[in-house]
Structure 1
């Protein structure tokens, strides 16, 4: 992995952390009185993603699953909710604003992900064992 690619990933994690810090953390630190339970769950989850994005600045490759998670949940949300609402002409209030905030990740995550590395590490690589080998096999070598 080139240093340029690692630094692009670091920059993406930094932008992610900064964006979530400015948008989500104010409502975590001082929750509005009218926040719903589902809204608080979303804020808690996104707050955690923002903290983990800070870890991604130090370990850009180890934190790639965070970027994959971001991409996948945005694809699910747009495909399962926004698109059908838009097709039916019944977009809920605020959904376009949420979509605008998600476009950054939806568009740029696929561009910054090192796809060959992702496929090699998460698709082609053998999985970790489900159980330990018997004692005699562990010490046979």
Structure 2
């Protein structure tokens, strides 16, 4: 896949993840709906992280081959999703909640903020 195709696939996973994640912040916790939406959210976050690992860094220094600093967030997301899922299965709700809130902030505030920096594809699409 080309970089542009990967970017479209990334958007196709991250936009619904953002909507689900926002809804999960407000949805009553522990319900069947929460669990279903949470599974979808975790799957979308894992998928989008894997997709971004296939996208070479285009801005800033590369730290290893095609990987730049932004890719660290992809790896952290994959670990966070796995640990949060396991915490939920073990009924460690405090750990699950802490990881999921931090994942949401890291993914949509931190990483989302990086995508809007000049020189990045999303910046070009939104601001020309």
TM-score normalised per structure 2: 0.46
Pair member with larger Rg: 1
